Amino acid sequence: MTNWQEDIVLDCSGLNCPLPVLKTKKIMDGLDSGQVLKMISTDPGSVNDVAAWAKRTGNELLETVADAGEYTHFLKKRH
Amino acid sequence: MVETAGKKKRMALIASKGTLDWAYPPFILASTGAAMEMEVGVFFTFYGLTLLKKEISPKVSPHSNPAMPMKMPFGPDGFQQIEWPIPNILTGNMPGFETVATSLMKQTFQKKGVATIEELRDICIESDVRLIGCQMTMDVFGFSKDDFIDEVDIGGAATFLEFAAEADIQMFI
């Protein structure tokens, strides 16, 4: 795991589809380009969903770390 | 969007059912589509139109959904895993069964961190999803425009099709 320096943390633990993606979108809208969001989810579906959301919106998914039922996504706001 | 800069993807949905279970797909897809920066429009027709009322209280009927797993959202894990074999004769005829099933499904959804229909609808409104209410359904079931939330755009088949004609994704729900 790379040590990404996040600018903001969003905890979506316990939330299910589609809330992690919807909350991620809302937070990312408020970030400046290049800033990094660390989003924590307990939804295994978030692994594919966050990647799909990033691909569609042009934001960069730096890394997803899965550890003991917790999925941590690092997203970089697009330019 | 990187590859498709300039033109947004468009999604056109038809929501034709108003029960709790069938209320989820259009609102989940519409809110997520908007979050994925698509232009989204939903045509609410027949029983789906009730999802645009100011106060919504969608219910679920196990009677018409024989494949619905009947599980309890409380108690020890083993208990929660039990699928209760409740015969159709009971689900259809026992007074109050629908209310109980609706309450159990809502509890299960809440426990699993699923948004409520009201929350998802609010997100759709915030993210400019176009909500088209079917004029003909309003006339047939005796609704007036005042029964519905202010954001409803009233129209008919032609209004929807004009929007859908340019859509990349279309679904009937």
Report how far apart, in Å, the C-alpha atoms of B156 and of each of A66, B29, B92 are: 48, 22, 34
Domain that holds residue B86: 62-111
Contact flag A16-B114 (C-beta cutoff 8 Å): yes
Q: Is B2 contained in some domain?
A: no
Tallying the residues shown for chain A, one arrives at: 79
Same domain, residue pair B126 and B53:
yes
Q: Is residue A12 flagged as an active site residue? A: no
Buried b / exposed e along B95-116 (16+ C-beta atoms within 10 A): eebbeebbebbbebbeeebbbb
Three-class secondary structure of residue B28 per DSSP: helix
Residue contact B114–A25, C-beta within 8 A:
no
Using CA coordinates, name the residue in chain B closest to A19. Answer: B115
Beta bridge partners of A39: A10, A73
Q: What is the pLDDT of residues B82-105, one digit of tens each?
A: 888 887 777 777 788 888 889 988
pLDDT digits (tens, 9 = 90+) for B18-39: 999 999 999 999 999 999 999 9
The pLDDT confidence band at residue B5, using thresholds 50, 70 and 90, is low
Domain CATH number, residue B152: 3.40.1260.10
Total domain count for chain B? Answer: 2
Same domain, B130 and B149: yes
Alpha carbon dihedral B31, B34, B38, B41, in 10-degree steps, equals 60
CA dihedral B110, B115, B118, B124 (to 10 degrees): 180
Q: Is the Cβ of B31 closer than 8 Å to some Cβ of chain A?
A: yes
Tell me the ipTM for this assembly: 0.91
Are residue B45 and residue B80 in the same domain, yes or no? no
Residues in B touching A58 (Cβ below 8 Å): 1-2
Same-domain pairing of B127 and B148? yes
Query: Which residue do the tokens 């589509």 mark?
Result: B33
| One domain for residues B77 and B91 | yes
Residue B4 lies in a domain: no
- Judged against a pLDDT cut of 80, whether residue B116 lies above it is answered with yes
Return the pLDDT at A1: 63
* Dmax (CA) of chain B: 56
Judgement on whether residues B71 and B107 belong to the same structural domain of the protein: yes
Q: Best mutation site among A10, A13, A24, A25 for testing chain B: the one with the most B CBs within 10 Å?
A: A25
Write the class of the CATH domain A8-76. Answer: alpha beta
